[in-house]
């Protein structure tokens, strides 16, 4: 009885592996999710806030840096950035919680101009869904940052 169960499980695993590896399955997946109907391109400006960065990050960031992308036709460029002091909560000797600004850790507000794909209410850039409040990964040649989308503006 135990042998039959293990053989059944092995056969199921083999079928799953074959279904995943089959090129037809992969091409169908790409057709379904990468080329939806009513697909159009649009230029937008994203405001992304990244919190808790070390002060030294500012030396690796430049206006005009291109955001690296998977598909060369969808481009993004950093058009503006501002460093702001990042507030921290600390406790003093008495146990009171006090708010201070960190000299080492900073918050950065990035403005990124991007050519995105849209279909209905869905907006995507570089395989990432674009919606206010969602995490957004910004990769350039010199650094990678993960922040949250704060604002979307149609250019």
DSSP 122-146: EEEETTEE--TTSEEEEE-SS-EEE
Q: In this structure, are 22 and 44 located in the same domain? A: no
Give the structural domain span for 142. 38-154
Contacts 24+ apart (CB under 8 A), 119-123: 119/36, 119/37, 119/38, 119/39, 119/40, 120/38, 122/36, 123/42, 123/44, 123/152
Cβ atoms 120, 97 nearer than 8 A: no
Work out how many domains the chain is built from and give that number: 2
What's the pLDDT band for 25 if we cut at 50, 70, 90? low
Mean pLDDT along residues 103-123: 86
Q: Is the pLDDT of residue 94 over 80?
A: yes
% of the chain at pLDDT higher than 70: 83
- The alpha-carbon radius of gyration of the chain (Å, integer) is 23
Q: Is the pLDDT of residue 6 over 80?
A: no
pLDDT of residue 133: 93
Q: In this structure, are 131 and 72 located in the same domain? A: yes
Q: In this structure, are 99 and 68 located in the same domain? A: yes
- Would you give the DSSP letter of residue 7? H
Q: In this structure, are 25 and 14 located in the same domain? A: yes
Q: In this structure, are 9 and 55 located in the same domain? A: no
pLDDT of residue 102: 76
pLDDT of residue 11: 86
Q: In this structure, are 9 and 56 located in the same domain? A: no
Q: In this structure, are 80 and 119 located in the same domain? A: yes
- pLDDT (tens digit, 9 = 90+) per residue, 37-66? 677 888 999 999 998 887 777 778 888 888
Q: Is the pLDDT of residue 109 over 60?
A: yes
Cβ atoms 44, 114 nearer than 8 A: yes
CA atoms of 60 and 54, how far apart (whole Å): 11
């Amino acid at each position: 009885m135990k042998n039959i169960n293990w053989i059944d499980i092995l056969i199921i695993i083999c079928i799953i592996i074959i279904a995943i590896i089959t090129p037809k399955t992969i091409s169908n997946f790409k057709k379904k999710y990468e080329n939806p109907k009513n697909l159009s391109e649009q230029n937008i400006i994203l405001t992304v806030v990244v919190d808790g960065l070390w002060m030294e990050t500012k030396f690796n960031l430049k206006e005009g840096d291109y955001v690296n992308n998977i598909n060369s036709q969808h481009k993004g460029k950093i058009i503006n950035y501002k460093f702001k002091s990042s507030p921290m909560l600390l406790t003093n000797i008495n146990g009171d919680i006090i708010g201070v600004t960190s000299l080492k850790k900073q918050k950065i507000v990035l403005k990124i101009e991007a050519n995105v794909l849209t279909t209905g209410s869905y907006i995507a850039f570089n395989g990432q869904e674009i919606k206010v409040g969602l995490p957004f990964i910004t990769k350039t040649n010199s650094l990678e940052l993960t922040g949250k989308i704060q604002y979307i503006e149609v250019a």
